[in-house]
Chain A
Amino acid sequence: MKRYLVKRVLLALGILFSISLITFFILHIMPGDAVALMLGDTADPNTLETVRHNLGMDKPFPQQYLEWIMGVFTGDLGTSYFQRKPVADLLLSAFSYTAKLAVVSYIIALAVGLVVGVVSALNRGAILDRGLMTLTVVGISAPSFWIAILLQIFIGLRFKAIPISGLEAPIDYLLPCISLGLRYAASIARITRTSMLEVMGQDFIRTARAKGLSPLRTVLVHMLRNALIPIITVIGADIGTLFAGSMLTESVFNINGVGKLLVDNITKRDIPVVQGCVICVAIICVVVYLIVDLLYAVVDPNIRLGGEEA
């Protein structure tokens, strides 16, 4: 287990390092000149040169990268070109919104998805099952920002009590969480259903029934618990897209999270902020995958004993 742990942590660090290198490279080959944009068309070449020098943009690429990555280790992600504030501070205040939005949405999605999946599986083939599964197909295929706009139009603008922007009061969470969580609720429901159907056909369920356990207990303790393993896999894989989805949801609902910070600064070409946002999301994704992998190793001895999958 110890060896697996070390191997997996080193891999995660390697992945993070590569991502930082790739994004740094991508963001620094762009043709548009941030300094020219910042100072306007009328700036004279000397001023441009000075500003470039002050921002360290005239140094060779490897040196710029090294200085930046050293900063990352000490928690210094550079300074925003336009807002003149440390990127780390901007990220910290934005992150709390994104985390709140993502966590609340996902918990609701998980609850709804599990219930829908279990109900569907228990009513397999019935109209209820078919109706719910059709809805999940729509839920998976619909872009979250479109759902968000439709919710604003058909609910937010019709019922004045439900706000369509910001994320302060509990009621503010309603529409953003539905639009962000819908896709996850749908995919969790589908997987729960499949996984439940697999477990339902097995002998130990028949035994549980034969023992005279109540149907509710059979479903919850014996079926759902065993059906959970594939669901956990999906949860791990969802985290990355959850952040991507929250970028769009934040833009639609005007929530000052990491996604909105990133999108706003992409149009302004504020490279340090963009870079900080990307690396922040990357760290979260890689850490979550790492935790999920380690959890697996705890559950499944095949992995920690070094069985190489084909």
Chain B
Amino acid sequence: MKKRKEPSPVLTYRGYYRESWDLLRRDPLAMISLVIVLLLVIVAVFAPLIAPYDPDKQILSQRLMKPCMEHWFGCDEHGRDILSRCIYGCRISLSVGLVSQIIATVIGYFMGVCAGYFGGKVDAAISFLVQVFSSLPDLLLAMALMFALGRGLVNLYISLGVLAWSRTARLIRGTVLQLKEKEYVKSCRVDGGSNLRIILRHLLPNCIPTLIITITMGIPSAILSEASLSFLGLGVRAPMSSWGDMISASRAFMGSDGSKWFYSFFPGLCMIVAVIAFNTLGDGLRDALDPKLRK
């Protein structure tokens, strides 16, 4: 929690999101991670422009070449540039993180609102489902789903998305339970506002801070799950390859004395940087957006 140094006069209140942004801007860790996240997004979007080589071009004379000036991260078993492959892998990881979290958020918001708003039997049923889905490790069900659907990018979005909704639903349910008792919600109901109107006009805007936080915090765990699935051979289809696929492939080429460490090391390093950046940004956003922590 950050305490502001100068007193902030009540009269200059400039809106919730401006205030949050001011708080976030003062958090150096959050700003560093925001910059890293933006850089990762740029790398993912402009991968063809940034990558120094074609990620699929095989030059067998460069097989398992050590890192050097021309190939910063070295080359893999087919002589492909590992740096370029990591850059293209960033696309897969970020897109899996983002798309799966959007799917999870849509399902989670809908379930959470219904549970919190309607209460009673609806709440009991949805809360039960939330408990069912949160009592198994995500990875296990995701494995089963990938097993059933087969490898592929779209199937990854679906598997990781439809399984990650329970956390969002639980948080939204809690938020809605509090919001439901607010005067403006009650007055809207007294005015004859429909349930849909209340859910979309009054509850949704108030849930957005929670959703921003759950999406930001969900992306790194989706990235890790994607990597684990890919590592187990349940990820994207070749020749695409994510960071997890690269680590998995590198296992056969460590060198008997561990001299080919770079092949395993760099894809994992990219993943750690991405995961830490999203987690730290999520922490910063939580501190900045949570009104309870505000003075």
Which A residues are closer than 8 A to B by beta carbons?
11, 14-15, 18-19, 22-23, 26-27, 29-32, 137-138, 140-143, 145-146, 149-150, 152-154, 156-158, 240-241, 243-244, 247-248, 251-252, 262-263, 266-267, 269, 274, 278, 281-282, 285-286, 289, 310
Contact = CB atoms under 8 A, between A and B. Distances in A.
Interface residues of B, number: 49
Nearest to B116: A310
A151 to B, nearest CB: 10
A137 B276 contact: yes
Nearest to B228: A248
B173 to A, nearest CB: 10
Contacts, number: 140
Nearest to B268: A146
Contact of A154 (B174, B244, B261, B279): B261
Contacts of B261: 150, 153-154
B131 A15 contact: yes
B68 interface: no
Contacts of A289: 135
Contacts of B137: 240-241, 243-244, 281, 285
A152 B254 contact: yes
B35 to A, nearest CB: 17
Given A150-B264, A153-B254, A158-B257, A285 B135 contact: yes
Given A30-B147, A285-B135, A248 B232 contact: yes
Given A145-B231, A310-B178, 9 more contacts: A22-B132, A146-B272, A153-B258, A241-B139, A244-B137, A247-B139, A251-B232, A252-B251, A285-B136
A158 B271 CA distance: 25
Top 6 A-B pairs ranked by shortest CB distance? A244-B137, A146-B268, A157-B258, A30-B148, A153-B258, A244-B139
Contact of A14 (B128, B136, B224): B128
A150 B265 contact: yes
Contacts of B139: 241, 244, 247
Interface of B: 128-129, 131-132, 135-141, 143-145, 147-150, 174, 177-178, 220, 224, 227-228, 231-234, 244, 247, 250-251, 254-258, 260-261, 264-265, 268, 271-272, 275-276, 279-280
A22 B136 CA distance: 11
A264 to B, nearest CB: 10
A143 B228 contact: yes
A302 B265 CA distance: 49
Contacts of B254: 149, 152-153, 157
Contacts of A146: 227, 247, 264, 268, 271-272
B138 A244 contact: yes
B135 A27 contact: no
Nearest to A263: B232
B264 A26 contact: no
B220 to A, nearest CB: 7
Contacts of B257: 157-158
18 contacts: A15-B131, A15-B135, A18-B128, A26-B147, A29-B148, A141-B220, A141-B276, A143-B228, A145-B227, A146-B272, A149-B264, A157-B258, A240-B135, A241-B139, A251-B232, A274-B144, A282-B136, A310-B174
Nearest to B174: A310
A23 B141 contact: yes
B127 to A, nearest CB: 10
Contacts of B250: 149
Given A30-B148, A31-B150, A11 B131 contact: yes
